[in-house]
Structure formats: structure tokens, C-alpha cells
Chains A and B, each alone.
Chain A
Amino acid sequence: MSPVWYAAGLGVRRGWTELRQTFTTGQDVFGYALWTVLVMVPLFLAGDDPLKGAGISAGAFMLPSLLGMTLAFTGMTTTAQLLATEREDGTLLRAKAVPHGMVGHLVGKIVMVSGTALVSMALPFAAGVFLVDGVARQGGGALLTLVWVIPLGLLATLPIGAVIGSLVSSPRTVGLLMLPVMGLVVVSGIYFPLSELPEWLQTVAQIFPVYWLGLGLRAALLPSEAVAAEIGASWQHLETAGVLGAWAVAGLLLAPSVLRRMARRESGAAMAERRQKAMQRVG
């Protein structure tokens, strides 16, 4: 086995270890719990209000949408956040100092963020199905949609997150980026169908992966008559695959060079400087 593949294998183990660590670290467990609560709140508020013409409740519409949003959100912001943080605290520099350590680090990050995204989706899903009716009752065929939507969603969002994480100057900047992302979520047909928005906003929302992941998850988890609430009364599988695929390709084309450039500039001195800055902010 070539050393690169060997290091990639170590990366899988690394990612698994780091994912496991999140289950035994208070802060991370709290994070999972908080996220679950945050997803549950709108379901509670919307309750059983019927979504007009779709034969489902507003809550049933929201649950899969929020799961799709969770995937997009985790894929992008967690990746960006972790990368920026690990650049600042020296994790990346350590990876750079061992042979093919960067390969291991990157693979580890992919495994870890993907795992985190799945857990962050699974928890609200498990709680949500008891709260709202009509979700995930379609069985086999529809669930198969998940098999391609979720991996494609990860492919579409992780590289973008990696690019953002490489370009920002500090983890604090990623926090600032959350604001526009929140705005995007609001107009991405997560809390209410996109068809209720003015047409130009619909167009904007359809550029980004958040809408398509929401749509993909709804296609998988909602009864077929719920399609009435969607644009053109269609699940638009082809468009979903197309847009998410385009993001994946763009991200995968861009990420390696951006990551390499970021890694090349990593040095003890650069890190010491960032540490100094971060300390001043704390002190």
C-alpha cells in the first residue's frame, strides 16, 4: 500500500476517534443536545397547523427541511470552524510535521464532520418523528433518496467549508459568517415552502445547497401528496442532483489548491503570532 493510502487509512481512524471524543466531551454533548432542542422548538410552535393544499402539517414540512439544513450547516460551518481553529491552535502544524500527516488530517476531518452531521441529523429526527405525524412513513423507495442525497450533500458542503476555513484569518471570522448563513436559511424554504416567497428570492435561494438539501430530505421523508407545496409540484430530483453536484465539483476543484496554499504557509512563527493575538483578545 502506498504511504498516501496508508495515511488516508490512519485518517479514517483519526476521524472516528475524534467523533467518539465528541460523545464524551461535555461541551460537544451539550452542542448536540442544544441543536436538537433548537430544531424541536419550531416544530412545537408550528404544531399541527395544516400546510394548505399539501395534506401535511407545517411541523411535518419543517422536520425534514430542518434535517437538510442541519446537513448543510454542519458540512459548511463546522468544517470551516474546525479548520480555522486547528490552524490557530497548532493541530495543522503538527499534522504537517509528520509524513503525510496532512492527508491523515484531511481525511480525519471529513470522517469526523460527516459523522457529526449524521449524529446532528439523527437526534432531532428520532425526537421529531414522535412530535409530528406523517414523516418517514413511505418506506423503501423514498428512503433510497437519502442514500444519494446525504452523501452528495456532504460532498457539496464540506469542500466549501474547507475553502472558507482556509481563507478566514481566525475562528472568530467564521462566527461572523454565520449571520449571512442564517439569513440564507430563512429564505431557503426550511420553515415554510419556498413558493410563498417572491420569485427573485426563490431564485437566490435555489443557487445555494441549503434549499436543495431541504428539498431532498422532504422528498425522502414526506408522503407523496406533500409535493403539492413544492415549486412546480415536483421533487426535482434531477435539479437537486445537478445543483448539489455542481457545488461538489466546484468545491472539490477549489479546495485542494486552497488547502495546499494554506498548509504551505503554516509555520511555527505564523502560529505563535496568531496565538499572541488570540491571547490578547482573551486577556
Chain B
Amino acid sequence: MTSAHALSEAGSSPPPGHDRVIDVRDLRMRYRTQDVLKGVGFTARRGEVVVLLGPNGAGKTTTIEVLEGFRMRSAGDVSVLGTDPARGDERWRARLGIVLQSWRDHGKWRVRELLAHLGSYYAPYSTDLVRRPWDADELIAAVGLTGQADKRIGTLSGGQRRRFDVAVGIVGRPELLFLDEPTAGLDPEARNEFHGLVRGLADENTTVLLTTHDLAEAEKLADRILILAGGRIVADGPAEELSRQASAEATVRWTRDGRPFEESTPEPTRFVRRLFEEHGDAIGGLEVRRASLEDTYLTMVRELEAGSVPEERAAAHAFGEEAR
């Protein structure tokens, strides 16, 4: 973090009794004849970083846009900061931050100029607990754009532009921040800086919901990972739990008389011992691999998309139920 100081002031004491910042139940979305979301449900608590993971077209953006109040849902109960987004007023909107992927908007504006302008819309919603908006210069320092403060936005590099997008998203000191694939197109260094920025916000009690299809990113940032595939949440749990569960099954590969074999097993050690007891020297090219989170994720998504998994098994993938 370039400026831990600035971020530490972002902290807003949450009003008591509103711990559940997002509550989604049986969210359904239908476009013409196609069901995009078939009963999505999850919650997010204050200060939590929830990562919505899923393949392209899984409905991540649709889900997040319903929560932002930008899209009407077909069915289901949704509560964001205690309000139904479909009926959220501007006072409610002032408590949200949305990081949009800018393209070439406001190209003639200078960085400080636009941040100060957009921030000023939040001034009527300032309270003793949450001072809005964030001071433009402090915010610029927090996202590491001090050198570019007087530059036209159209001249920023991709990474700078994305950091600027984050700055716009948090200029109103939101209680809840939405980021839809925020690191797409960022180089590793910029990505790393961005991760620090998000963690810093969460440390100060901002709830963060972000979508990505980058597993490493999800693992690094998330307090909880939700996997959205086939229009449903197929996994919901803390990142460590998901990784642990994911690595429970190992893949054993070997050759026997020159022919390749492969087997998945939760107990690779015993499996390999039996293999040698049965076939002895005929076994060659032995390889034991613990499945990574990525392997599990890919298998899960592939199976779901192929429709080869019956509903019950899809449900069985869901764990961390106690988190709900």
C-alpha cells in the first residue's frame, strides 16, 4: 500500500445490527427463453471480501448488476445494505461503490479534476461516522497516481487507468464495493498493487464483492469464494477450506507394460503401495499429483457445463454451509 494512512481513515463504524451486507436468496434471471441464473443464493458479512468465481457466461456480471441495482431480476429475494436494489434510492446508492471498467470516457478530464467532481456528489451524504467524499489528493496518493494527478485521463496507461477506476469506485467511501473483473488486462505488478488496495479496504470494514476468472487472484484475496457455474452457486466457502478440500483428491499416473494409466484417489499412498504389490516391476513412470484448487474448479465447471452432473452431486460440491 502506498498510503496506509489514507486508507486507515476510510474505516466507517458500521451501524450495529446490520452485519449481513448482502443477502441473496433464490435469485433467478431469465433472458427470453434462457435461464441465466437458476436460484443463486449467498450472503456477505461486513468487512468480508467475497470473490465470485466462474467461467465466462456463468452469470457473474448479471449477478453483480442485479446487486448494483442496474438490472431487474426475474425472481428471488435480494437485499443489499438492507435495501432491495430494485428500489434503492440515491441515499442507498451513496453507500455503494462500483468500480467500472473504463474505456475512454472522460478522456479530456484531468485525474484530480474528475475525482473531485465525482466525489462532490457524495457530499450531501456525509455523516459524522463516514466523512464523504474522500479528499481527492489523499485518494490519488492511496491509489498511487500522485504523479499523474494533473494528467488527462485519456493519457493514462492501462494499469493507471484501472487504479483510477478503483479510485472513482471508492471516492464516496462506500460501505460495499463491487468490482467486476477489475484486474483483466493488468500486468502482474499492477495486479499485485491492486490486491493490496482491496485488502486495505477490507481491513477497514468495507465489504468487497468482486468477480474474476483468475483462481490465483481469488485464492489470494478472498475471505470466501463462491463458484458460480451453470446458473448456480456450486461452491461456497472460505478460500483455505476450498483449497484443502480441493487437494484431498490426488491423481496417480503410471504405466504398466508401457501402457499409461490414471486414477484419482483420496489416499494416494495406500493406492501406490497396492499398485506395487499387485504388479511389481511392471509399473513405471509413476507420478502422484495433489489436485490444485484450479484442477477441482476446472473439473467442477467442465462437468457442470457438460450437464453430466446430476443436481444432487452438484449440490454435494457445495460446502462451507455453516458460513451462511
Q: How far is the CB of A24 from chain B (nearest CB, A)?
A: 8
In B62-110, the 8 Å CB interface with A consists of 62, 65, 68, 70-71, 90-91, 93-94, 96, 98, 100-106, 108-109
Whether a CB of chain A sits under 8 angstroms from the CB of B168 is yes
Say yes or no: B103 contacts A89, CB within 8 Å: yes
Please determine whether A10 and B106 come into contact, CB atoms closer than 8 angstroms: no
In whole angstroms, what is the CA distance A93 to B105 when docked?
A: 10
Q: Which of B19-27, B117-125, B134-142, B266-274 contacts A (4 or more CB under 8 A)?
A: B117-125
Q: Provide the residues of chain A in CB contact with B47, threshold 8 Å.
A: none
A98–B122 contact, CB under 8 A? yes
B223 at interface, CB cutoff 8 A: no
User: With A267-B70, A268-B65 given, is the CB distance from A97 to B98 under 8 Å?
Assistant: yes
Q: Do A99 and B90 have beta carbons less than 8 Å apart?
A: yes
Q: Is A137 interfacial (CB-CB < 8 Å)?
A: no
**B6-42 vs A: 1/0 string, CB under 8 Å?**
0000000000000000000000000000000000000
Cα–Cα, bound, A98→B98 (Å): 9
Shortest C-beta distance, A74 to chain B (Å), equals 18
Q: Bits for A101-123, please: 1 = Cβ < 8 Å to B, else 0.
A: 10010000000000000000000
How far is it, in angstroms, between the C-alpha of A14 and the C-alpha of B121 when the chains are bound?
A: 11
Verify if B240 is at the interface (C-beta below 8 Å from A). Answer: no
Question: Judging by beta carbons under 8 Å apart, are B121 and A101 in contact?
Answer: yes
Is A6's beta carbon under 8 Å from chain B?
Answer: yes
Contact-size category for A: 20 to 34
CA distance A277 to B145 in the complex (A): 31
Tell me which residues across on chain B come within 8 A of A267, comparing CB atoms. 65, 70-71
Q: Judging by beta carbons under 8 Å apart, are A93 and B118 in contact?
A: no
| A96 to B85 alpha-carbon distance, docked (Å) | 14
Say yes or no: B105 contacts A89, CB within 8 Å.
yes
Most buried by B among A13, A90, A101, A266: A90
Most chain A CB atoms below 10 A, which of B61, B68, B118: B118
Is the Cβ of B105 less than 8 Å from the Cβ of A94?
A: yes
A99 near B93: Cβ-Cβ < 8 Å: yes
Which residues on A sit within 8 Å (CB–CB) of B65?
Answer: 267-269
**B108 partner, pick from A25, A271, A275, beta carbons under 8 A:** A25
A94 touching B121, Cβ below 8 Å: no
CA distance A13 to B114 in the complex (A): 11
Q: Are A90 and B121 in contact (CB under 8 A)?
A: no
Within the complex, which residue of B100, B123, B124 is in contact with A97, where a contact is CB–CB below 8 Å?
Answer: B100
Contact present for B103 and A94 (CB under 8 Å): no
Asked if residues A99 and B168 are in contact (CB atoms below 8 Å), the reply is: no
B287 shortest CB reach to chain A, Å: 42
Nearest residue in B to A278 (C-beta to C-beta)?
A: B103
Q: Is the CB of B90 within 8 A of A90?
A: no
Supposing A91-B105, A93-B100, A99-B91 touch, asked if A268 and B117 sit within 8 A by C-beta, the answer is: no
- A3 beta carbon closer than 8 Å to chain B: yes
* Cα of A91 to Cα of B154 in the assembled complex, Å: 13
B62 touches A90 (CB 8 A): no
A7 located at the interface, meaning its Cβ lies under 8 Å from any Cβ of chain B in the complex:
yes
Interface residue B144 (Cβ < 8 Å from any Cβ of A): no
CB distance from A18 to the nearest CB of B (A): 7
A269 touches B121 (CB 8 A): no
**A60 CB to nearest B CB, Å:** 37
**Within 8 Å CB of B113, what residues of A?**
17
Cβ B61 vs Cβ A268 within 8 A: yes
Q: Which parts of B167-188 form the interface with A (CB within 8 Å)? A: 168-169, 172, 180
Known: A25-B108, A94-B106, A268-B61. A100 touches B90 (CB 8 A): yes
Smallest CB–CB gap between A248 and chain B, Å? 28
Asked if A33 CB lies within 8 Å of chain B CBs, one says: no
Are A94 and B168 in contact (CB-based, < 8 A)? Answer: yes
Instruction: Note all chain A residues with C-beta closer than 8 A to B98.
Output: 97
Q: Is the CB of A13 within 8 A of B105?
A: no
Q: Report whether A17 and B125 are in contact in the complex, using a CB–CB cutoff of 8 Å.
A: no
Interchain CA distance A268-B180 in the complex, whole Å? 9
B95, chain A: closest CB distance, angstroms = 9
Write the nearest CB–CB distance from A2 to chain B, whole angstroms: 9
Docked-complex contact A272 and B108, CB < 8 angstroms: no
Q: Which residue of A lies closest to B61 (CB)?
A: A269
- Out of B70, B104, B118, name the residue touching A268 (CB < 8 Å): B70
Distance (whole angstroms) from the CB of B172 to the closest CB of chain A? 7
Do the beta carbons of A17 and B122 come within 8 Å of each other? no
Add 6 more A-B contacts to A21-B109, A97-B68, A99-B121 (CB < 8 A). A3-B125, A6-B124, A90-B102, A97-B93, A100-B121, A269-B65
Chain B residues near A (Cβ < 8 Å): 61-62, 65, 68, 70-71, 90-91, 93-94, 96, 98, 100-106, 108-109, 113, 117-118, 120-125, 168-169, 172, 180
Nearest 4 interchain pairs by C-beta: A99-B90, A91-B105, A99-B94, A21-B108
